[in-house]
Amino acid sequence: MNTVFALWKRGLKAFIRNRTGLIFSLIFPFFFVYVFGAIFKNEFIQNPIAYMLSGVIIATVFESALNLASTTVDDMVSGFMKEVLVSPAKRISVAIGQLLSAATVSTIQGILILVIGLFVGIRFTTWTTPLFVLLAMICVGLVFSGVGLFLATIVRSGQTFQIIKTAVTMPLTFLSGAYIPIAMLPTSLQYVARINPMTYATAFFRTIVLEKTNLSTAELVKEGLAIDINGFIVTPIMSFAILVAVGLIFLVLSTNSFIRTDFSRLNRSATDANEIWG
């Protein structure tokens, strides 16, 4: 448990110290809100700013969770991870610490955007909504932290990881409905969106943020909150179930891959990780 807490704390300290990265991570999402919110306004979306903000928040959580896996890669290549693993700490504890750290930081980034969003368009009518929004962000953060850790364990350099991360995050984000409603995509890309786990994360999260849980199935489909797959309707609850299933798969894959990775085969170079650790 001490190992898990220490790695979790280390991730938070690195996040807090990176003030420049934090500021830009808050500014950049609002660029999408005002650009895409104005362009894709239509009659089915009552509050386009809140609609876009909900997508931007969950996309930020998703991208942050994957980005933070680059820290794991840096630790592997620098030799810091090898130093941790020669201690009595169990590998499963190290993997859980990395996952919780990434999930926590990505959730905090989502909360920061949500707080700003409360001043520019998001409105909650019940006190339970913020609680469910927080739980949804934690869930999405954990799921995609698992995906990020799995990717981190199958590459051998930070440069390669950056290429893979970009190749994964860009299509999954833009084909999820977070920025562009799926109904506005070309038909061929709509088929791709249906196999994208971020599509279901976005639909589920947006339903909670916009407080649309009481809508009928037809209304949910019309507003892009339920997915119509050739007549079969994937409701927000089903989307949550799909997200949990994907999360469990990648949590098992990532922890198993992390435990089996041979860190002695990775080259060590200079690192400032010890400064963060201290």
Helix/strand/coil (H, E, C) string of 150-207? HHHHCCCCHHHHHHHHHHHHHHHHHCCCCCCCHHHCCHHHHHHHCCCHHHHHHHHHHH
- Kindly state whether residue 271 falls inside one of the protein's structural domains: no
- Kindly state whether residue 201 falls inside one of the protein's structural domains: yes
- Kindly state whether residue 265 falls inside one of the protein's structural domains: no
Tell me the whole-structure pTM to 2 decimals: 0.82
Crossing angle between the packed helical segments 128-153 and 236-260, to the nearest 10 degrees: 30
End-to-end CA distance of the chain: 19
- Cα 53 from Cα 30, distance rounded (Å): 8
Residue 137 has pLDDT above 90, yes or no: yes
Percent of the chain with pLDDT over 70: 87
- Kindly state whether residue 70 falls inside one of the protein's structural domains: yes
- Cα 32 from Cα 147, distance rounded (Å): 24
Span 185-219, pLDDT tens digits: 888 888 899 999 999 999 999 999 988 888 888 88
pLDDT at 21: 73
pLDDT at 276: 40
- Kindly state whether residue 269 falls inside one of the protein's structural domains: no
The residue range of the domain holding 205 is: 3-260
Q: Which is nearest to 3 in space by CA: 91, 82, 80, 79?
A: 91
- Kindly state whether residue 268 falls inside one of the protein's structural domains: no
Backbone angles phi, psi at 268, to 5 degrees: -105, 140
- Kindly state whether residue 120 falls inside one of the protein's structural domains: yes
Percent of the chain with pLDDT over 90: 17
Total domains present in the chain? 1
Average pLDDT (221-234) is 87
- Kindly state whether residue 64 falls inside one of the protein's structural domains: yes
| Local confidence band at 136 (pLDDT 50, 70, 90 cut-offs) | very high
Average pLDDT (27-31) is 71
Average pLDDT, the chain: 81
